[in-house]
Amino acid sequence: MWLWFHKLGSPPHFYRTAGRLIPWFAIPAALLLVAGTLGGLVIAPADYEQGDGFRIIYVHVPSAYLAMFGYVAMAIAAAVGLIWRMKLAFAFAAACAPVGAAFTFLCLATGSLWGKPMWGVWWDWDGRMTSMLVLLFLYLGVIALRGAFDDAAKGDRAAALLAIVGVVNIPIIKFSVDWWNTLHQPATLSKLSAPSMTMDMLGWLLVMIVGHMLFFAAVVTLRLRGEVLLRERGARWIRGVDGRA
């Protein structure tokens, strides 16, 4: 086990393994996303209350899920990096942050598009949307802090510590925003919530969630390979890399 762990941790070995893994993530991701999109947009019945407007849920919910998953994964990698001084874990955290931030943004954007027909405005201070906005700020803080350091190793450690501080604070922030939201909830507006879904709606949502997760894995692995190349520039094994997987 430890030997395997150690071997995976060696950059050249990891680089090759990751290259072989990418198709195993990317191809099922593409199939599931195409199937889920067709299923969600065409096959699934329209919601009796929201009509076709609800269909954005097939992107919105998986994005929200990955936005949170991405931050937690980044914080766990950061902790592993700080505790066991594993460089690959820092590279993972660095690869994960922009992808997670992109999904957070996607979640906010789709939420806003969904909100327009429902609320009549592009933005409403809905509790979940506000929490997502703060999550986006936390992501941006981690990315900005890593970028501000000239010394990459130092930036990695600082950003890792911030990610851990952030993950401790997220439940508190979430609680406070929910609390704030229930106090100021205007009665007339309906909340962004999943409509009561029938099985044929829900099935396609599950397909989309798995598809998004595999897509996330493929993109992070791809970025991680890039990070490894960037961090190992100057190492001898790089000269054998010809740019193809």
Binding site for another protein (CB under 8 A): 82, 134, 137-138, 140-141, 144-145, 148-154, 157-158, 161-162, 164-166, 168-169, 172-173, 175-177, 179-180, 183, 231
Q: How far is the CB of 135 from another protein (least distance, A)?
A: 8
Helix, strand, or coil (residue 51): strand
CB nearer to another protein: pick between 11 and 203: 11
Q: What is the C-alpha separation between 213 and 63, in angstroms, rounded? A: 9
Q: How far is the CB of 190 from another protein (least distance, A)?
A: 23
Beta bridge partners of 51: 47
Q: How many C-beta atoms surround the C-beta of residue 202 within 10 A?
A: 12
Q: How far is the CB of 184 from another protein (least distance, A)?
A: 10
Q: What is the C-alpha separation between 157 and 135, in angstroms, rounded? A: 20
Q: What is the C-alpha separation between 62 and 75, in angstroms, rounded? A: 20
Q: How far is the CB of 87 from another protein (least distance, A)?
A: 9
CB nearer to another protein: pick between 34 and 153: 153
Q: 45, exposed or middle or buried, with CB in 10 Å at 0-12, 13-18, 19+?
A: exposed
Biggest distance spanned by C-alpha atoms of the chain: 65
CB nearer to another protein: pick between 197 and 229: 229
CB nearer to another protein: pick between 144 and 194: 144
CB nearer to another protein: pick between 46 and 230: 230
CB-based contact 243:17 (threshold 8 Å): no
Residue 72 CA to chain centroid, in angstroms? 9
Q: How far is the CB of 124 from another protein (least distance, A)?
A: 17
